[in-house]
Structure 1
Amino acid sequence: MRLISLASKSMLNRKASVLLTLFTIAISVMLLLTIERVRQEAKSSFSNTVSGTDLIVGARSGDIQLLLSSVFRIGHANNSVSWDSYQDIKAQRGVSWTIPISLGDSHKGHAVLGTDSAYFEHFRYGKKQTLVFAAGRAFVNAQEVVLGSDVAQKMHYQLGQQIVISHGMGNTSFHHHDDNPMTIVGILAPTGTPVDKTVHVPLAAIEAMHSQPKSTPRMIGKPKQPAGHTHDHADDHAHHDSHDHGHADEHEHHDSHNHGDADEHDHNDSHNHDHADEHDHHDSHDHGHGHDKPDTIAVAVPAPADLHGDLIGEPKQITAFLMGLDSPLYTLQIRRNINNYKAEPLLAIMPGVTLRELWRMLGLVEKILLLFSAVVVLISLLGMLTTLLATLNQRRRELAILRSVGARPRHIFTLMSSEAILITAAGCTLGIALFYALIALAQGTLQSQFGISLSISLLSHYELMLIGVIMAAGTLMGILPATRAYFYSLSDGMSIKL
């Protein structure tokens, strides 16, 4: 204990060089732990993107290419799957559920995914977690859209607003479907997966936008609204219908089942009856006060039974589809049947197996990152060794004085070794603190930009092992100057020559 106290006081006398060495070790430890944590969390985030899915089916290409394009929205699928083939495979024995996926459109850089209601029912991520709505509901007809959490947050969208889908992936859009605006009816809770960056629309909407002649003014009779405005449930009516209905509510609200303009509103009557209270309140506010308030307050859009429509339409092809089977025993059999499908060349992959193959391909990159961080740690420890050796010759008088007061050569050896251990331990401690501070600062950016969720948790066994290796290396680095000091104390005694 006295030697440790003596070593601490000795380092305080050389605090400039000691602090520089300590910070070098701390930064290298922070870098090593950060790379390792990001590597593990990135692998975990990829693995958690889709779970509970037995097979992913698409046009024949490569396993990894199909996985990246269909699940991670990375790259593009070269070909598509015909709708007839999808229906045929869906009807096979052992298939529990399927989720059709149609990609190729975007909205301001965010991928647009066409699907049906099975997506919200059967899609799983993480540890088989279901999709949860932070606000609103799932779409029920072809004029509605559901946003991922990142899309809504980044674009500041709210329920009731209308958006326009563009043809083309990423930031490259070849054509804007501005004649077919869609209403936001749901916003999903964050998942830490590509779902957060995705705009979800019904398959019927994709088909209608792509097959509709340009002369057609509206896909589904939806009135086009100025950009930047939010809309309430009254958007489901044409403008003149809303005005007439408001007029009727203003003068005949006591009889909500007797409209003076019944002939003009036959297609809206059941909708108006189901939501009379909501329209009464809205119209009395808007008409009674002369539109004093702007209509930019987003409101939840209910899902009345009479507005439920066809979510699929008659598509000719889709990009891919996810499959869940009744039993894992069917997996290999159905996969073999799909890979040998005669109607068209298809490919069925098992997500877990393909992910492991992907990480094997990226294994070299992981090793390079670890090697880089290990080299940085080694350089910092060599810097500590250089500092101890450089100051050793200047401390020969100090060592001689210690010998004169009774210190033996082994005490000198322990003293010098203790200094190296203390510097390394302090550097590791500071490095761990900087590591947690960096995670806290970068957490939001990594989550929003790359979908990597970094958790502030205790060091794992592997990370603790890395710290132990650094401590051992620091101890070994201290043996060389300690050994030299040991022999200096034997030869110099009190007759040191300056």
Structure 2
Amino acid sequence: MYLLRLALASLGNRRFTALLTVFAIALSVCLLLAVERVRSEARASFANTISGTDLIVGARSGSVNLLLYSVFRIGNATNNIRWDSFEHFAKHRQVKWAIPISLGDSHRGYRVMGTNPDYFSHYRYGRSQPLNLSQGRAFADDPFEVVLGAEVAEALHYRLGDQLVLAHGIATISLLKHDDKPFRVVGILARSGTPVDRTLHISLAGMQALHIDWQNGMPARGAGKVSAEQARALQLQPEAITAVLLGLKSKIATFSLQREINEFRGEPLLAILPGVALQELWSLMSTAEQALFVVSLFVVLTGLIGMLTAILTSLNERRREMAILRSVGARPWHIASLLILEAFSLALAGVLLGVLLLYLGIAGAQGYVQAHYGLYLPLNAPSPYEWSLLGAILAAALLMGCIPAWRAYRQSLSDGLSIRL
């Protein structure tokens, strides 16, 4: 214990350098733990971009492609699904609910999705969190009503009651617009940190009304043109949709229904499990994830090297101190142990301060990060893996402390009371 008290007293005499070293280690530890926590929560959040949906059904293509356009609104479907095929599986004895999705249009770079009111009732994200409206209501009987995602409303400064015009196709600037059929904003969704925030939601009837007078990708002219009022009076039944989200009555039936859909004779369909497809997609991005972790490890290593440099730099200045300790009975191994304890104390203080900074940062930014990025950062105790990282940092500090300890040991043997400065 006396060696520890002596080490702390020695650090106290060099408090300014010691505090800078501790702070550098604390920042690097905080960064490492923050990156690790964000990595783990981002993976969980990514896996929970869609939650509670048992199967996603689309035209036969690849599982990642189907996931990208149906959930992330990235890319396009290779083909559509006939409406009668949707009704066939929506009425299946194992299906609890079915949400049709129709894609194809956009508004100033944001995707437009046609669906039905079940979307707002059954769609889940995160840890089975439902979609909530921050303002207004969901679309109802009028086909020309739109519900905006939070990011769309914020970026384009839309409010309830505003009118907007949708564009044909997917582009930031489009030359083909449905300007004869404007939509009215009736609702704005609360921010979820998912692709829902970047989506404009309309009814399937509204999607059908937009294209009722279009042929071969071009609007009709003259007598063939259908106005918004005329469209409201028509039977707006879609002929095809892009994809279907299915919720089942029993999880046990998931694989049997998936096989039944994949073998459906009516048309070529593909059913995927969202969780499996999300993990497959995440694995494609694992290189960037690992690179971020490696960078944070190097930052920690830099902090420890800074500690080593500070201790080594002070050795020549402390040779008289070591000689005095030898004169009062300290052995060379006492001197070496003193420097190892100093290195360990600096690292331990840095680790503790780093953990404290991490939790202060999480407490301060938790609400903002969840609202804007959909990441929930819990104030939990460090996980076993995080404990192992902290232990590895302390072990590395001990090993680095052995370098100045060995040098001090050799100097204390050769110096005695005759100090060569």
Contact 1:58/1:320 (CA < 8 Å) preserved in 2? Answer: yes
1:316 aligns with 2:239: yes
**Secondary structure at the residue paired with 1:175?**
coil
Shift of 1:209: 1.0
1:455 aligns with 2:392: no
1:201 aligns with 2:202: yes
Distance in 1 between the 2:48 and 2:67 partners? 13
Which residue identity is paired with 2:128? K
1:471 aligns with 2:381: no
1:359 aligns with 2:282: yes
Q: Tell me the equivalent position of 1:425.
A: 348
Q: Which has the larger displacement, 108-117 or 182-191? A: 182-191
Shift of 1:160: 2.0
Q: What is the correspondence of 1:253-264 to structure 2 with a 5 Å cutoff? A: none
Gaps spanning 5+ residues in structure 1: where? 223-306
TM-score (norm. length: structure 2): 0.87
Q: Tell me the equivalent position of 1:488.
A: 411
1:102 aligns with 2:111: no
Distance in 2 between the 1:481 and 1:170 partners? 63
Distance in 1 between the 2:351 and 2:126 partners? 33
Counterparts in 2 of 1:15 and 1:362: CA distance versus 1, 3 Å = same
Contact 1:35/1:373 (CA < 8 Å) preserved in 2? Answer: yes
Counterparts in 2 of 1:376 and 1:62: CA distance versus 1, 3 Å = same
Instruction: Look at both structures and tell me which one has the larger radius of gyration over its CA atoms.
Output: 1
Q: Tell me the equivalent position of 1:191.
A: 192
Per-residue CA deviations over 1:371-391 (Å, capped at 9, x if unaligned) read 222222223223322332233
Q: Tell me the equivalent position of 1:344.
A: 267
1:134 aligns with 2:134: yes
Shift of 1:117: 1.5
Distance in 2 between the 1:172 and 1:60 partners? 30
1:155 aligns with 2:129: no
1:120 aligns with 2:113: no
Shift of 1:478: 0.9
1:7 aligns with 2:16: no
**Secondary structure at the residue paired with 1:140?**
coil
Per-residue CA deviations over 1:6-40 (Å, capped at 9, x if unaligned) read 33443354456545533432332232122212211
Per-residue CA deviations over 1:315-358 (Å, capped at 9, x if unaligned) read 22211110112222322122112212233322110111222223
Distance in 2 between the 1:418 and 1:33 partners? 24
Shift of 1:445: 7.1
Distance in 2 between the 1:444 and 1:182 partners? 33
Distance in 2 between the 1:344 and 1:126 partners? 33
Q: Tell me the equivalent position of 1:302.
A: none
Which residue identity is paired with 1:316? E
Shift of 1:363: 3.4
Counterparts in 2 of 1:75 and 1:20: CA distance versus 1, 3 Å = farther
**Secondary structure at the residue paired with 1:135?**
strand
Contact 1:41/1:452 (CA < 8 Å) preserved in 2? Answer: no
Counterparts in 2 of 1:173 and 1:432: CA distance versus 1, 3 Å = farther
Gaps spanning 5+ residues in structure 2: where? 214-219
Counterparts in 2 of 1:47 and 1:393: CA distance versus 1, 3 Å = same
**Secondary structure at the residue paired with 1:58?**
strand
**Secondary structure at the residue paired with 2:228?**
coil
Shift of 1:408: 3.2
Shift of 1:447: 5.2
Q: Tell me the equivalent position of 1:269.
A: none
Q: Tell me the equivalent position of 2:256.
A: 333
Q: Tell me the equivalent position of 1:400.
A: 323
Counterparts in 2 of 1:437 and 1:106: CA distance versus 1, 3 Å = farther
Q: Tell me the equivalent position of 1:219.
A: 228
Name which of 362, 365, 379 aligns with 2:302: 379
Shift of 1:414: 2.7
Per-residue CA deviations over 1:387-441 (Å, capped at 9, x if unaligned) read 3223323322110012223333343223211211222123324433544565577
Q: What is the correspondence of 1:242-281 to structure 2 with a 5 Å cutoff? A: none
Q: Which has the larger displacement, 405-414 or 473-482? A: 405-414
Contact 2:56/2:271 (CA < 8 Å) preserved in 1? Answer: yes
Contact 2:8/2:342 (CA < 8 Å) preserved in 1? Answer: yes
Contact 2:164/2:182 (CA < 8 Å) preserved in 1? Answer: yes
Distance in 1 between the 2:53 and 2:139 partners? 22
TM-score (norm. length: structure 1): 0.74
Which residue identity is paired with 1:390? T
Which residue identity is paired with 2:380? L
Shift of 1:135: 2.5
Percentage identity across aligned positions? 51
Q: Which has the larger displacement, 375-384 or 415-424? A: 375-384
Shift of 1:101: 0.5
Per-residue CA deviations over 1:178-211 (Å, capped at 9, x if unaligned) read 2211122222233332222221100111111123
Distance in 1 between the 2:78 and 2:322 partners? 75
Contact 1:150/1:448 (CA < 8 Å) preserved in 2? Answer: no
Which residue identity is paired with 1:87? E
Distance in 2 between the 1:38 and 1:214 partners? 54
**Secondary structure at the residue paired with 2:155?**
helix
Shift of 1:90: 2.5
Shift of 1:172: 4.5
Q: Tell me the equivalent position of 2:176.
A: 175
Counterparts in 2 of 1:441 and 1:165: CA distance versus 1, 3 Å = farther
Q: Tell me the equivalent position of 1:144.
A: 145
Counterparts in 2 of 1:217 and 1:331: CA distance versus 1, 3 Å = closer
Contact 1:168/1:174 (CA < 8 Å) preserved in 2? Answer: no
**Secondary structure at the residue paired with 2:227?**
coil
Counterparts in 2 of 1:75 and 1:37: CA distance versus 1, 3 Å = farther
Contact 1:436/1:456 (CA < 8 Å) preserved in 2? Answer: no
**Secondary structure at the residue paired with 1:481?**
helix
Q: Tell me the equivalent position of 2:217.
A: none
Distance in 1 between the 2:163 and 2:98 partners? 29
Q: Tell me the equivalent position of 1:24.
A: 24
